[in-house]
Amino acid sequence: MILSFNMLRFAFDGQDAMVVDDYYKQGKAINISLEKIQAARARNIETQLIVNEQDISLRFINGTPETGAALRLAFYHVTQAPKDQTVDLFRDAQGIYRGSTEHDLTGKWQVALTPHDNEWKVQQTLSFPNADPIIFNP
């Protein structure tokens, strides 16, 4: 009897973070994300990403933004959400976007590159450390 009450208490008190309350909103968000990826493909965006410990450099091979405005590079850890981080990349005189992370990037990450106006998005799953340049495209 005591075990049954304890199990019921755990069932009602526990919260499953994987359950989504509003599937319609979640579906719309996925569609918007896919539209942004398609916009990056239409612009023929292709970049070369180099992550050297905490220093990041990104060079456009194709589809360089005309404005030269800062970009946002988001790192989402595939299993540990508290490790997620976002880095702002700023263009230097050579046209290379540079930034640095606050925390170690060792492991597997979902990496997303977007401009600050969120018009397009480039997203890939990457593993670090990786000494070689990474061709990063939608």
Number of structural domains in the chain: 1
3-state secondary structure of 112: strand
Domain-embedded: residue 108: yes
Domain-embedded: residue 91: yes
Q: Which domain holds residue 100?
A: 45-138
CATH number of domain containing 130:
2.60.40
Domain-embedded: residue 127: yes
What DSSP letter does each residue of 31-55 carry, written as one string? HHHHHHHHHHHHTT-EEEEEEETTE
Domain-embedded: residue 70: yes
Tell me: the pLDDT tens digits for 69-81?
999 999 998 888 8
Tell me: the pLDDT tens digits for 17-57?
555 555 545 554 455 568 888 888 889 999 999 998 889 99
Domain-embedded: residue 7: no
Q: What's the mean per-residue pLDDT of the chain?
A: 83
Cβ atoms of residues 63 and 115 within 8 Å: no
Tokens of 13: 């008190």
